[in-house]
Amino acid sequence: MPRFPRLPWPGRARGRADGQDETARPLGEAPMLPAALLASMRRLELRARRLVATELAGEYRSVFRGFGIEFAEAREYVPGDDVRLIDWNVTARMGSPWVKEYTEERELHVVCAVDISASQLAGRPEQGRRAAAAEVCALLTLSAAYSQDRAGLFTFAGSPERFVPPDKGTRHALRIVREVLDHAPPGSSGTSLAAACDYLGRVLRRRSLVFLISDLLDDGYVRALRDLAQRHEVIAVTLIDPLDEALPDAGIVEVEGIEGSGRVLVDSSDPALRDRYAAAARQRAEARREALSSAGVDEIEVRTDGDAASPVMTYFRRRAAGTQPRERPHGQRAYRARRG
């Protein structure tokens, strides 16, 4: 069995993939946060609380009802009962047919798996992938808290970075959000979605609802994602920046490769270059959708130049109404929303 780096839990030293330790910092107990970050946290918290309290929590409860059932009691058989529920041991002991009754296991474990690699820092701090990821996490973790479910956090880059076990409560949910906004630099370079999925598959003992929040700019992760989706419900939240799709006409610009893989000067005023850039972007998007489809994973597309909450809420509404089909390995359907 392959061994993964032992990741820190709240209150332990923050582990790194390279075996080094950083200064111990319990979840959410950061020293003196910048004023701009604190202001951003307050705005995000107020907005998320309002949306969850007025709209999202109800949709969340309608969509995610629990993943299992547990035995409650045995009772005497009555006409119309499913014969498959007959408890033969009790029936033999009592001398008459008895059936098993079950109750739904309502409590969910929700895990936000957040990509914290270098590509997540693209764009302006207040309108980039990190800010969008934090808002999505706020909506999801507060919805879980309002529904008495447990929320956890997993961060990753080129390897697993930090795992915070699911727990209840609004304070815990908001600490997760702050961790996303103010996480330490990753101890690994690049992005490995496969390593992230493999790690979650081993650490999550109980069936969970996993939101994979990333730009998904990676290859070779389909098998690991499919394996994870067979044991847990996985929903991909793809963070899309305008620069992912089109190169602006800005003259000579310096372009950096994905995850800092190199820099080159290009003439963005060249129409042919911009056309090739856009065509390559469309191919990447189609390849991503095909990968998610083959893994049987739904997708929510969140744009950094739009409202991060709208696509999430619309997806929940469509699922609750039965108009958003659950994805299976035969065709991906994503909901996309932009600011009007």
Cα separation, 289 vs 297, whole angstroms: 9
Q: How confident is the model at residue 69 (pLDDT cuts 50, 70, 90)?
A: low
d(CA 323, CA 317): 8
Q: How many CA atoms lie within 13 A of 39 on its CB side?
A: 5
Q: What is the mean pLDDT of the chain?
A: 80
Among candidates 195, 224, 203, 201, which has minimal Cα distance to 291? 224
What is the spatial distance between Cα 242 and Cα 221, in angstroms, rounded to a whole number?
Answer: 24
pLDDT attached to residue 119:
79
Domain 35-62+108-241+293-336 has CATH 3.40.920.10: no
Could you tell me which residues are beta bridge partners of residue 264?
Answer: 255
Give me the pLDDT at residue 63, please. 73
pLDDT digits (tens, 9 = 90+) for 142-155: 999 988 899 999 99
In angstroms, the CA 208 to CA 112 distance is 10
From 43-47, 71-75, 123-127, 236-240, the region with the lowest mean pLDDT = 123-127
* 143-159 exposure pattern, b = at least 16 Cβ within 10 A, e = fewer: bbbbbebbbbbbbbbbb
- Residue 263, pLDDT score: 80
Q: Are 237 and 212 in contact (CB under 8 A)?
A: yes
> Which residues, in sequence order, are CB contacts of 6 under 8 Å at separation 6+?
15
Q: What angle do CA 36, 40, 42 make, to 5 degrees?
A: 120
Give percent of the chain with pLDDT exceeding 70: 75
Which amino acid belongs to residue 153?
L
CB atoms closer than 10 angstroms to residue 7: 21
pLDDT tens track for 269-322? 999 999 999 999 999 999 999 999 999 999 999 999 988 889 998 898 888 777
Average pLDDT value for residue range 22-43: 54
- pLDDT at position 243, please? 87
This prediction has a pTM of 0.74
pLDDT at position 183: 77
Residue 13: pLDDT band by 50, 70, 90 thresholds?
very low
Nearest to 156 by CA among 294, 309, 4: 4
Model pLDDT, residue 108: 87
Encoded tokens for 306 = 């739009």
- Whether 31 shows a pLDDT value over 80: the answer reads no
Q: What is the 3-state secondary structure (H, E, C) of 289-334?
A: HHHHHHHCCEEEEEECCCCCHHHHHHHHHHHHHCCCCCCCCCCCCE
Tell me how far apart the alpha carbons of residues 173 and 74 are, in angstroms, rounded to a whole number.
38
Q: Is the pLDDT of residue 17 over 90?
A: no
Give the residue, 106 or 109, on which the prediction is more confident: 109
| Lookup: tokens for 292 | 């998610």
- Is residue 229's pLDDT more than 70? yes
State residue 46's pLDDT score.
Answer: 79
pLDDT at 27 over 70: no
- Average pLDDT, integer, range 27-38: 53
Domain ranges for the chain, please list them: 35-62+108-241+293-336, 71-104
pLDDT beyond 80 at 30: no
